[in-house]
Amino acid sequence: MLQFKRSYRYIILLFSLQFSICCASAQKVIPVPYINPVWEKPCEPFRIAGNLYYVGTYDLASYLITTPQGHILINTGLASSVPVIRKNVEELGFKFTDIKILLCTHTHYDHVGGMAAIKKITGAEMMVNEGDVASLEDGGNSDYLMGGKGSMFVPVEVDRVLHEHDTIRLGGMKVIALHHPGHTKGATSFLFDVRDEQRSYRVLIANMPTVLEDVKPGMASYPEVAKDFGNTFKAMKELKFDLFLASHASQFDLDKKHQPGDGYNPMAFADKKGYDEALAGLEKDYKKKLGKK
């Protein structure tokens, strides 16, 4: 009976959120161009390291950083992910409404689609790099590659504009925002320390610099795209960290590092080799697509 009540509650929540999303903005939200089935597949939430938790879906990574003064949520996945994220946060024993800060690695619909709904529920502050402010506030319509057809997600008002090496502070946490443009103009990675009963860990949540198919050097909507990608690869090669995570679970092989029911094991994510190999593969693709040698 308890399980039924919980399931019923989240069905009602999903309906309510979808209704509120439709009504939240006078600007019509167009159908998104593509949804991979694994983006919506539920995933068991778990503790990654210290006060850092995975609360996303099977492939769209969402991260919860908890503190005594409230929590930070990084990425929300699709609009349909909101009930899943809320359920995951609450299953871990935390109050969803204690989320005080919202961050994102970039402003594509598969990572910020649920941001407006979560901001409305929690009243959290939305913080984003200056290069992605316009895209977030117009629902992705000004995105240099996918924009121009209307809002793909409910627009989100930005409360704080972030710049390179800005620090987000909450409850003793210091999260450093690293501007890694290319995938979007304001694409951002996050670097911070967490601690458990044994030691501290330097964590990188990387916005991996994937070059999408239609990106061209010197394109009118982003003339500096090739230069920005080049600078991003250079900067990301120099990063120092202990644990590697990313915007998509598949980008850091989550399914190989953690299975449902596995115990707490931060070092499963100590994968500098995997990071270097993934970055090298993306840089090779960048050089091929953007004419670099």
* Tens-place pLDDT, residues 177-235: 999 999 999 999 999 999 999 999 999 999 999 999 999 999 999 999 999 999 999 99
Handedness of CA 131, 132, 134, 140 (dihedral sign): positive
pLDDT score recorded for residue 28? 85
Give me the pLDDT at residue 16, please: 47
pTM: 0.91
Per-residue pLDDT of the chain (293 residues; tens, 9 = 90+): 333 334 444 444 444 444 444 444 445 899 999 999 999 999 999 999 999 999 999 999 999 999 999 999 999 999 999 999 999 999 999 999 999 999 999 999 999 999 999 999 999 999 999 999 999 999 999 999 999 999 999 999 999 999 999 999 999 999 999 999 999 999 999 999 999 999 999 999 999 999 999 999 999 999 999 999 999 999 999 999 999 999 999 999 999 999 999 999 999 999 999 999 999 999 999 999 998 65
Phi/psi region, residue 165 (left: phi>0; alpha: psi -120 to 50; beta: rest), is: left
Question: At CA 249, angle to CA 217 and CA 179, rounded to 5?
Answer: 45
Cβ atoms within 10 Å, residue 280: 12
Contact 68, 95 (CB under 8 A): no
Q: What is the rounded distance in angstroms from the CA atom of residue 55 to the CA atom of residue 73?
A: 9
Domain ranges of the chain: 38-289
In sequence order, what DSSP letters do the residues of 185-231 get, joined into one string?
A: TT-EEEEEEEE-SS-EEEEEEE------TT--TT-TT-TTHHHHHHH
Question: Domain 38-289 is in which class?
Answer: alpha beta
